[in-house]
């Protein structure tokens, strides 16, 4: 992978792979931005959230990285960032509340620099909880939830999105109870598109390429228009 270039003045979206810092509610937030290949890029930016920092989750997690690659290959520009307490991002872990504020700050920046683009939210594990918790409030145009931590975090009272929504769940997840996820989805009036992946656990070991294919196969029907 090509090293990310420095991006000292984030007054516009980067034009290639770049690491930079955004101002969050309690201090700097580390971020990595990248763009889809032109021509053929779509008018959309995907903001991608990582697993729980208390368990070592960061924006460099392998599932997050593969999710980012999948979205970029479909034509979306992408932005990953570290929640407060992860990596060099400022602040203390806040059980999803402060992390929601971090996400809102990042989305506000994306909307400032890309006001005409669609906003996609995507997350893995704890990151999927944070994105789902905020999808309605932040007016997401699409949502992708990888291994949502149903049972570990309360999902029953969350406002659910009306936008296109994909859930991918490993059937042998050892961190999140798969049946709890399936039962929760079955209880929803407007359930998401569900992809069940057999013979794989929470981190999709040896199945990351299959995860990539599953995501791309579903979202190809949701993509925004081609960028001018």
> What range defines the domain where residue 13 resides?
5-219
| Residue 168's CATH number | 3.40.50.1820
6 has pLDDT over 70:
no
Is 177 a domain residue?
yes
166 part of a folded domain = yes
Q: Does 51 fall in a domain? A: yes
**Total domains present in the chain:** 1
pLDDT value of position 9: 58
Structure confidence by residue, pLDDT tens digits, 100-145: 999 999 999 999 999 999 999 999 999 999 999 999 999 999 999 9
The pLDDT of residue 11 is 81
Nearest by Cα to 21 from 81, 110, 83: 81
Q: Give the containing element (helix H, strand E) for 19.
A: strand 18-24
Residue 224 lies in a domain: no
Strand partners, 33: 18, 79
225 within domain boundaries: no
User: Does residue 228 fall inside a structural domain?
Assistant: no
Task: Encode pLDDT of 79-98 as tens digits.
Answer: 999 999 999 999 999 999 99
For residue 5, name the pLDDT band (cuts at 50, 70, 90): very low
Helix and strand numbers (H, E) in the chain are 5, 9
What is the per-residue DSSP string for 128-188? HHHHHHHTTTTT-SEEEEES--BTTB--TTSPPPSS-EEEEEETT-SSS-HHHHHHHHHT-
Residue-wise pLDDT tens digits, 17-57: 999 999 999 999 999 999 999 988 999 999 999 999 999 99
In a domain? residue 226: no
């Amino acid at each position: 992978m090509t090293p990310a270039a420095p991006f000292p003045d984030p007054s516009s979206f980067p034009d290639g792979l770049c690491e930079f810092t955004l101002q969050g509610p309690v201090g700097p937030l580390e971020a990595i931005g990248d763009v889809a290949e032109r021509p053929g890029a779509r008018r959309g930016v995907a903001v991608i959230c990582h697993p729980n920092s208390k368990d070592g989750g960061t924006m460099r997690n392998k599932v997050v990285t593969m999710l980012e690659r999948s979205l970029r290959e479909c034509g979306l520009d992408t932005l990953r960032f570290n929640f407060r307490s992860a990596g060099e991002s400022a602040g203390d872990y806040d059980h999803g509340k402060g992390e929601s504020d971090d996400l809102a700050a990042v989305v506000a920046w994306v909307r400032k620099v890309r006001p005409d683009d669609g906003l996609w939210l995507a997350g893995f594990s704890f990151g999927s909880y944070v994105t789902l918790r905020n999808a309605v409030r932040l007016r997401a145009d699409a949502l992708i939830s990888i291994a949502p931590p149903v049972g570990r975090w309360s999902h029953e009272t969350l406002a659910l999105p009306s936008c296109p929504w994909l859930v991918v769940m490993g059937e042998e997840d050892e961190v999140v109870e798969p049946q709890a996820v399936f039962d929760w989805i079955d209880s929803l009036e407007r359930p998401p598109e569900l992809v069940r992946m057999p013979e794989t656990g929470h981190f999709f070991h040896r199945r990351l390429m299959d995860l990539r294919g599953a995501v791309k196969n579903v979202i190809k029907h949701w993509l925004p228009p081609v960028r001018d």
